Amino acid sequence: MVIVKPCLNKLLAERNLKQIDLATMTGISAPVLSRFDKNTQHVDNHLFTIAKALKVKIDDLFEIVDNDDLFETVENNEGMLKVDINEN
């Protein structure tokens, strides 16, 4: 399974931009941009507009994590077992 997480704020920080700067560049309101990383669905037109303004691919607006990378397969006396490697 794949987990997709928006990372617009990270991209903005890397470019020393604020959401208001991107709003000016794209015409997308700052409140809409402020919710980008919290949303699970995104307007396709916004994705293309943001990617074009930041000169990135749409994929770059998201961090994609393979859920299998979060687990380690170990063998025990009952067979194979997946263990969360991110537990504290």
Residue 38: both structure tokens together: 């919290």
In this prediction the pTM is 0.73
**E strands in the chain:** 2-6, 62-66, 71-76, 79-84
CATH superfamily assigned to domain 2-84? lambda repressor-like DNA-binding domains (1.10.260.40)
CB atoms closer than 10 angstroms to residue 37 = 15
Q: Where are the domains of the chain?
A: 2-84
**39 band by pLDDT with thresholds 50, 70 and 90:** very high
Return the ∠ at Cα 2 (arms to 68 and 58), rounded to 5°.
140
User: What is the pLDDT averaged over residues 16-27?
Assistant: 97
**3 band by pLDDT with thresholds 50, 70 and 90:** confident
Average pLDDT, the chain: 83
Residue 41 has pLDDT above 80, yes or no: yes
